[in-house]
Amino acid sequence: MTTPLRLGVNIDHVATLRQARRAAYPEPVEAARLCAAAGAHGLTVHLREDRRHIQDRDVFALKEAAILPLNLEMGNHPEIVAIALEVRPDEACLVPEKRQELTTEGGLDAHGQFDAINETVQKLKEAGIIVSLFIDPEPKQIQAAALMGAPYIELHTGTYCDGGDPRELERLIAGAVLARQYGLKVNAGHGINLTNITGILRIPHLDTLNIGHSIVARAVMVGMEAATREMLHAMSAYVGGDASP
């Protein structure tokens, strides 16, 4: 049985606009309502250690508003882990994080940092939070995620989306197939836009696409609801949506 490909809208850059002037507007909660009205299935925010866009209060406000299921992207930092355990988002996606980067540059090294990441995965799971690991489509990373018992991985699509190399797409396809063999559910995200999504839709077994910058950038021109609907329309062409293990 196939299921529709779901869209999680990352609204970090709504907060980026607000923080550029340390203003009161635009508010992520309002953006969340517009995404929901357009038919999005979830929300993603990344509470970075440097608080460059999303702030602590945004995470608490979005959880309290309960507009859509909340996916908290987070580095494996004790302060952020403590906030996640307090907020208890519906999902948490562990990502790599460096202060000097413009945006996340690659996947988490779940294999090389197994013990430290596994400790956090278990804490989050015990709190009733669905856990995902944001990783590159490498067999050792996928195997590490499976060994930790994380039910989801999120494949880092940025390398393919930035360059369009068909070899990178083949790696993503192979990664999704392998993850499915390990019983993992597969999300994907980073750098996806209306131009490169055609290739992304070739990846089998996808559950959710988490897309942020391109939707928020498009929203500057057409509005948040319209930009979200455009992406949902593009995603409707997906035919490989059975992500059940």
Query: Which SS3 state, helix, strand or coil, does residue 206 take?
Result: strand
What is the C-alpha R_g of the chain?
17
Containing H/E element for 119? helix 114-126
Joined together, the tokens standing for residue 67 give 């507009």
The total number of residues shown for the chain amounts to 245
d(CA 210, CA 46): 12
Do 69 and 130 touch, CB atoms closer than 8 A? no
Active-site annotation holds for 49: no
Active-site annotation holds for 73: yes
Residues 212-226 as b/e (b if ≥16 CB within 10 A, e otherwise) read bbbbbebbeeeebbe
The residue among 211, 142, 140, 138 whose CA lies nearest residue 180 is 142
Active-site annotation holds for 190: yes
Tell me which of 13, 41, 53, 73 is the catalytic residue.
73
Tell me which of 13, 41, 156, 190 is the catalytic residue.
190
Tell me which of 13, 41, 46, 53 is the catalytic residue.
46
Q: Which residues carry out catalysis?
A: 46, 73, 190
